[in-house]
Structure 1
Amino acid sequence: MEFLELAAGRYSVRAFSDRPIEPEKMEKILKAGQLAPTAVNFQPQKIYILKSDEAIEKIRTLTQFVYNAPVVLLFCADTSKVWKSPTEHGYDTGEMDVSIVCTHMMLEAWELGIGSVWVRGFDSRKVAKAFELPGHIKPVCLLPIGYPSAESKPYAPWHDTYRNIEEMVEEL
């Protein structure tokens, strides 16, 4: 599949089947995250695969936005590994790097026929506490993933509505 076709066809899946994700496909999805670019290649991502009944139930008590996905990826930034700007006090690329990693994995999953939905509807402090994450591990986003159910479709009628490129881009 060509990349633009892949990007145009992908949508946020909110209805998943019970079909398990094959280990070899999960390996490819994880590999896409490993290959994703990060600032200075510091690779500050820490990814937790939530798939046990206990882990899925726990994350469902913290957000309504994991739907019925059989697997939820919890993306975190390891603040001990993030690139910190020497010129802008307090700025680091942790959340940006982790978002890039998540996007690469989301697109690889779609290429493999596996749907997902990028989620930030949760309190990161509550998630960190519930999963007993170390203090230097900061939750950034969730990616519920799985095979779309037969009822799955783009959630919003504006799914394929885009601003004009001329509106978004300006040459200086």
Structure 2
Amino acid sequence: MERVEVSTVVYVPPEEVYEFLLAFRRYANYSEHLRSVRQFGDGGPGTEYELTFAWWKLTYTARSKVTEVDSPNRIEWGVTKDIDAAGRWLVKPLVDTDGEAEEVETEVTFVVEYAPGSTDDGIVDLPRFVSLGWVVEKIKPKIRAEAERIVRRVVADLEGEERDVELRIETR
């Protein structure tokens, strides 16, 4: 499995961050390649989403499902067809050196784990002479860039304005 993890600090209480992230349909506004999101459910466990992505000459609709929530700390999800992928949003109040919670500092982490080799040639209608392997290799850096873009835009919406956001990014 490959993993991308993007974290930052927002100046909003954890409960507000969690509720904001639970409204998954907003993500189409944050992603360069996500064209639409259809929701089937109330946002809690069992809710499914139909996500239509477009990049280059390709369009693909993925289905994901909220698998677990722990308010206001965590939202878990997984892709339900075509690729082995899952992820989570983690929301953690920050504490100072005295062990007291800061008034409005919250660490937000977006994690995506995926197995590039778990796809097969039939999931996307590829142009002639284009292999799925080539597409997967081109998409890998886009996954990281999309994760960064999403976190930056979430911070701007939560705080009400854009600012320079310091991101901690881990990949493996």
What is the TM-score of this pair, normalised by structure 2?
A: 0.35
**What's the TM-score once normalised by structure 1's chain length?**
0.35
Q: Larger RCO: Structure 1 or Structure 2 (Cα < 8 Å, ≥ 6 residues apart)?
A: 1
| More strand, by proportion | 2
